[in-house]
Structure 1
Amino acid sequence: MTPPAPARSHRLTVAQALVRFLAAQYTERDGRRHRLIGATWGIFGHGNVAGLGQALLEYQDRMPFLQGRNEQAMVHAAVAHARHTNRLRAQAVTTSIGPGATNLVTGAALATVNRLPVLLLPGDTFATRPADPVLQQLEVPYAGDVSVNDALRPVCRHFDRVTRPEALIPAALQAVRVLADPGETGAVTLALPQDVQAEAHDWPAEFFADRVWPVRRPLPEPGALAEAVTAIRSARRPLLIAGGGIHHSEAEDALRALADATGIPVASTQAGKGSLRHDHPADVGGIGHTGTATADDLARTADLVIGVGTRYTDFTTASGTLFAHPGVCFVNLNIAPFDAHKLSATALVADARTGLEALGEALAGHRVETAYAAQYRAARERWERQVTAAYAGDAAARPTQTQVLGALDATVGDTDVVVGAAGSLPGDLHKLWRARSPRQYHVEYGYSCMGYEIPAALGVRLAAPGTPVWALVGDGTYLMMPTELVTAVQEGVNLNVVLIQNHGYASIGGLSEAVGGERFATAYRYRAADGTYTGDPLPVDLAANAASLGLDVLRAATLGELREALATARASTRPTCVHVETAPAPTAPGAQAWWDVPVAATATRAAARAARPAYDRQVSARRRHL
């Protein structure tokens, strides 16, 4: 009898083994295989330079490396990359222990809120505790095993700390399982003590074999499907809300087929915009506080709301006031049970594409009433005329913000990607932007994180080489995080930044005024004689700053110059910034639905006292759908 072959093993450090393992992980959906961790972003300090830093150098032929400038920004770039690749690919981010690790928290929260995968690999304090404390160690008197990395626990979908070499195997497998699972995914942290990273161990060869993680497309349960179909067939005014799950599942064709067959109107969340082309007869635009009048009026009178891949945030539901029909009920199709069961809905826990296909088959022959379809199509035509009016302007005048969007709309191609996240731009974009393809509209509004836009544009551009990508930023957002412009220059990534100078936080300024805050501390101005920030605008030259970071800069003073600058930027092979100072007058239609921002219940200032009665009237309309 032939004796069994001896087990093969590889003697590597923990960091080397982790890099080798990650390079061999794949996702597979619909017969297409994708490398799961396509690259690692990193900034090195004492907590990771000798471990992961050395390992990434050792295996740079297996694991591409990207040098970042800010830890939070690296996470943003990785998250945007994952979103643009439909969550089938992700990236890792490594930092040192200390401020590098805690700088990950905001990015981790953004990833988890938006259900997007990113792998965080922060260094950690010594597992062996050779000195106590070591540099950057957080001392917690009641818990000796706590480090600053524990701040990541509540903002991650999975957290583990690898305190022994042999613990890496189960920890790494669990981390990748969560990253690849569309129902569980988000930020995943493997905290790596700096001494453990550099420790050698004999690893089984099987740990480094190619491993494929199937991305499932579960079908809806038959009983729930039958209940949903009965509800849809019985509804007279159904409305479908397309969320980000449509894109993640690549369900756009299935949605279009359902809308074509049934005539059910489709509104979209910020994450779901572009699920239908803007000119599809059933597309009624964005929904909620930043939505269109067409979508919001339909929502108020809908007797059935079909949510597909949506989390139903307060912007979507107008803080619980939007779905006003007395008998309104809900059908939710979502791969995550947590989201599928919201609003006491009939829950279809399934993949968005297979679920929509199943609904389409079961609804064969069903269409909404002709009068209903005619009503919403006439309303969407009226809204389109408002969009056209908001985009129009005098070529010789300083443009408004909406006219900037109109000029960009006239410049971009169908597959260009527009990236936004915070401030007044997402509201204008959600109402006005005419999305022409599923991936064109990339607005992060789950966490609405200022500073996301530039690193996200870099992440998208790396995911889709050759695709023009536009980061839309106001001056407030630009000052938060322009650092990855240096990375774009270094990597030769020709992203475009549209930098809108409006001298402050325009969105919060307007909100402050509406809720009695009198625009306090929302403008970038000198102090006036009374101590308020109402003096002259600060003499800050952000265009010069962008040029100092290595970008080509085009300044546009008029709408005509802006149109020329945008066309030049799109044709450029270099990272380019188009700087424009906008006119203060708003030209976008106002909010079509409420958003709950509580007003002071008692105050001595007249503005706050005047704002409270309107708040009380609005909040009285809130419903809990039980």
Structure 2
Amino acid sequence: MTVRLTVGQALVRFLAQQWTERDGEEQRLVAGCFGIFGHGNVAGVGQALLEEELRAPAGTAPGLPYWTGRNEQGMVHAAVGYARMSNRLSTLACTTSIGPGATNMVTGAALATINRLPVLLLPGDVFATRTSSPVLQELESPATYDVSVNDALRPVSRFFDRVWRPEQLPAALLGAMRVLTDPVETGAVTLALPQDVQAEAHDWPEELFERRVWHVARPVPERDLLARAADLLRGARSPLVVAGGGVIYSAATDALREFAEATGIAVAETQAGKGSLPFDHPLALGGIGATGTSAANAFAREADVVLGIGTRWSDFTTASRSVFANPDVRFVNLNVAGFDAHKHAGLALVADAREGLLALAEALAGHDTGGDYRGRARRLAAEWDEVVEAAYHVGHQPLPAQTEVIGVLNEVAGPRDVVINAAGSMPGDLHRLWRTRDPQGYHVEYGFSCMGYEIAAGLGVRMAAPDRDVFVLVGDGSYLMLASELVTAVQERQKIVVVIVQNHGFASIGALSESVGSQRFGTSYRFRDDGSGRLDGATLPVDLAANAESLGAQVLRARGVEELREALVKAKESDGGPVVVHVETDPTAAGPDSDAWWDVPVAEVAELASTRAARAAYDEAKRQQRPYLRPLESGGTTT
């Protein structure tokens, strides 16, 4: 039997029937669709979404609900936030017209793929028949007729296909679902849909629209490699666990806690892995690397065996390959992706994080690091917590420090509430200072560190977890990049609390510019001075609170720490749509240091004395970098 539908209608009906299953629990794979319509998708996917909505019985949600986006990049960020909050088991689709709508999604697609988070992109495309070419917004290539602007999405997508004919749709859809549900391959998935093909009718086999459940597997580690990993950990004098995002996505936090408590091995966390242990667990050392804590980095410098779990070992995690300073250090990498498991010449345990931890715990039964090791972990973590407490209450005047804003927010937020951030100086301060109590309570996007991610992602997180309060921390620079999804939050009555930290410029890059001898050049929002001709005049009269209010959000202005606390409490108690809390801070009030390095090259020759001094410091730090190439069988404590 067949069903006669357009390509757009078949696409929507298919997506409404896709589910994931892991550990016996099922949920929708594509829970809804964001869309901005233009001539490239309004008559195809747009008409199909309308028909799906009208087909739903009165009072029930359609199989594929639709939400109006305001910016195509923002839609993708919202889908990413939704997917991360769903532990990659559910996501959203995003449909756009051809041209600027489609290319606006490139940044969001790159963010999704870098962070290994599934999103489905459905951009319209040029006419497959070419009878009307060149059409509006078509980029003509003199070398070929089969390229469109959507090809810009190829390098940032984990799967890309263009559906030139209706007959190609089933294979494209199945390929897309395969990648979306594969923890190793997942990322942005793009199905480019020529606008004439979207509206073309075809006779589809009924089985295409039957309920389909995609099992998300938990691969187990290979036995011999597991034994070798256990031997390395048993022989280690100073082992360390580095927990990455894979621990949280695979719901392995309980397994990690039990492993740490049984073996006594302390745990440091990457940005994506923060929350793998509660901040006050006796074996929790906090963030590691360039944005980490002194406790975690002290253990890292002495570690002879490092067990990395679900981490891709970014430069911030390793402090640009300088923080693991023991000349005999070896790596054991438990990761579902072989690409990451083999990094740093490590012993590759290619497996699901939870299953790998359970197997390692069994293989290490009876092994314990001992009282001295456990005591040192508790002592260094307690010393760092005193640093955090001091940063929360530094009493900076006349404007508060950013660390005080974080402290007040941490105090007001509930144990299951979510804090969101992505760019600027706040990811570093949050990684070091945020006291995480729930595995999904910390949501900092630091794979792409994309300015403008925060508000849109906050919307997606709230949609995925309506029982949690969502606090979006955003600097003024990032707010100006992309605040438009506040309107979507207003329209959908989605409560997110957006804290605008106004410091009149780019605090993070200002500090970085100063550290490389560039004197905070171009990092402040200032008028151009008539005398000097430089951007060092008076502060710009920009009122972001008024801007947010004009978009329909409730706005609370706070002057100082106590007013901020009152505003946050009021915002948390509110219901309905988004609440924006505006507070000014001093961009020069730095937080505590991680005692670790980040490799940012400094000009090798310069007239500026500040740059020459920064280069000398850079050359000194560069000597601490390590290749991490030593074979497991050679030298040191692991032979």
Q: Verify same fold: TM over 0.5.
A: yes
1:43/1:71 contact within 8 Å kept: yes
Query: 2:7 is matched by which residue type in structure 1?
Result: V
Of the candidates 616, 625, 630, which is equivalent to residue 613 of structure 1? 616
Secondary structure of the structure 2 residue equivalent to 1:317: coil
Secondary structure of the structure 2 residue equivalent to 1:554: strand
1:504/1:522 contact within 8 Å kept: yes
Secondary structure of the structure 2 residue equivalent to 1:59: helix
2:507/2:587 contact within 8 Å kept: no
Cα deviations across residues 227-264 of structure 1 (Å, max 9, x unaligned)? 10000000010010000001100000000000111110
1:501 aligns with 2:472: no
Query: 2:551 is matched by which residue type in structure 1?
Result: L
Range moving further from structure 2, 499-508 or 529-538: 529-538
1:95/1:122 contact within 8 Å kept: yes
Cα deviations across residues 78-125 of structure 1 (Å, max 9, x unaligned)? 011000010000110000000000000000000000000000000000
Cα deviations across residues 550-579 of structure 1 (Å, max 9, x unaligned)? 111111111111110010000011311110
Q: In structure 2, what is the equivalent of residue 172 of structure 1? A: 173
Task: Give the alignment of 1:12-411 within 5 angstroms.
Answer: 12-60=5-53, 61-394=62-395, 398-411=399-412
Cα deviations across residues 562-615 of structure 1 (Å, max 9, x unaligned)? 110010000011311110001344251124211111001112222212211111
Distance 1:557 1:99, change over 3 A: same
Instruction: Give the Cα–Cα distance (whole angstroms) in 2 for the partners of residues 513 and 397 of structure 1.
Output: 23
1:393/1:559 contact within 8 Å kept: no
Shift of 1:33: 0.7
1:397/1:559 contact within 8 Å kept: no
Query: 2:614 is matched by which residue type in structure 1?
Result: A
Q: Give the total of aligned pairs.
A: 619
Task: Give the alignment of 1:427-446 within 5 angstroms.
Answer: 427-446=428-447
Task: Give the alignment of 1:571-582 within 5 angstroms.
Answer: 571-573=573-575, 574-582=577-585
Instruction: Give the Cα–Cα distance (whole angstroms) in 2 for the partners of residues 24 and 194 of structure 1.
Output: 24
Q: Identity over aligned residues, as a percent?
A: 63
Shift of 1:362: 0.8
Secondary structure of the structure 2 residue equivalent to 1:27: strand
Instruction: Give the Cα–Cα distance (whole angstroms) in 2 for the partners of residues 610 and 592 of structure 1.
Output: 19
Instruction: Give the Cα–Cα distance (whole angstroms) in 2 for the partners of residues 245 and 558 of structure 1.
Output: 38
Query: 1:32 is matched by which residue type in structure 2?
Result: E
Instruction: Give the Cα–Cα distance (whole angstroms) in 2 for the partners of residues 508 and 591 of structure 1.
Output: 17
Instruction: Give the Cα–Cα distance (whole angstroms) in 2 for the partners of residues 262 and 584 of structure 1.
Output: 43
Instruction: Give the Cα–Cα distance (whole angstroms) in 2 for the partners of residues 265 and 141 of structure 1.
Output: 60
2:432/2:594 contact within 8 Å kept: no
1:559 aligns with 2:561: yes
2:127/2:133 contact within 8 Å kept: no
2:118/2:186 contact within 8 Å kept: yes
1:9 aligns with 2:2: yes
Shift of 1:376: 2.1
Task: Give the alignment of 1:595-606 within 5 angstroms.
Answer: 595-606=598-609
1:395/1:559 contact within 8 Å kept: no
1:502/1:584 contact within 8 Å kept: yes
Distance 1:144 1:395, change over 3 A: closer
Instruction: Give the Cα–Cα distance (whole angstroms) in 2 for the partners of residues 143 and 429 of structure 1.
Output: 49
Cα deviations across residues 117-153 of structure 1 (Å, max 9, x unaligned)? 0000000000100122111111111121000000000
Instruction: Give the Cα–Cα distance (whole angstroms) in 2 for the partners of residues 432 and 394 of structure 1.
Output: 16
Cα deviations across residues 204-230 of structure 1 (Å, max 9, x unaligned)? 000000111100001000011001000
Superposition TM-score, scaled by structure 2 size? 0.96
2:73/2:106 contact within 8 Å kept: yes
2:233/2:305 contact within 8 Å kept: yes
1:538 aligns with 2:524: no
Query: 2:533 is matched by which residue type in structure 1?
Result: G
Query: 2:41 is matched by which residue type in structure 1?
Result: N
Shift of 1:74: 0.2
2:282/2:377 contact within 8 Å kept: no
2:240/2:303 contact within 8 Å kept: yes
Shift of 1:624: 0.9
Shift of 1:394: 4.5
2:32/2:64 contact within 8 Å kept: yes
1:396/1:560 contact within 8 Å kept: no
Shift of 1:29: 0.3
Range moving further from structure 2, 437-446 or 598-607: 598-607
Q: In structure 1, what is the equivalent of residue 479 of structure 2? A: 478
Instruction: Give the Cα–Cα distance (whole angstroms) in 2 for the partners of residues 595 and 198 of structure 1.
Output: 52
Instruction: Give the Cα–Cα distance (whole angstroms) in 2 for the partners of residues 618 and 143 of structure 1.
Output: 50
Instruction: Give the Cα–Cα distance (whole angstroms) in 2 for the partners of residues 466 and 301 of structure 1.
Output: 42
Instruction: Give the Cα–Cα distance (whole angstroms) in 2 for the partners of residues 496 and 294 of structure 1.
Output: 32
2:7/2:199 contact within 8 Å kept: yes
Instruction: Give the Cα–Cα distance (whole angstroms) in 2 for the partners of residues 219 and 408 of structure 1.
Output: 40
Shift of 1:371: 1.5
Query: 1:537 is matched by which residue type in structure 2?
Result: T
Cα deviations across residues 320-370 of structure 1 (Å, max 9, x unaligned)? 111110100000000011111111111110000001011111111111132
Instruction: Give the Cα–Cα distance (whole angstroms) in 2 for the partners of residues 393 and 553 of structure 1.
Output: 26
Structure 1, unmatched stretches of 5+, are 1-7
Query: 2:24 is matched by which residue type in structure 1?
Result: G
Q: In structure 2, what is the equivalent of residue 592 of structure 1? A: 595
RMSD: 1.0
Q: In structure 2, what is the equivalent of residue 5 of structure 1? A: none
Superposition TM-score, scaled by structure 1 size? 0.98
Q: In structure 2, what is the equivalent of residue 569 of structure 1? A: 571
Instruction: Give the Cα–Cα distance (whole angstroms) in 1 for the partners of residues 328 and 204 of structure 2.
Output: 61
2:122/2:190 contact within 8 Å kept: yes
Runs of 4+ off more than 3 Å? 393-398
1:395/1:558 contact within 8 Å kept: no
Secondary structure of the structure 2 residue equivalent to 1:307: strand
Query: 2:439 is matched by which residue type in structure 1?
Result: P
Range moving further from structure 2, 133-142 or 497-506: 133-142
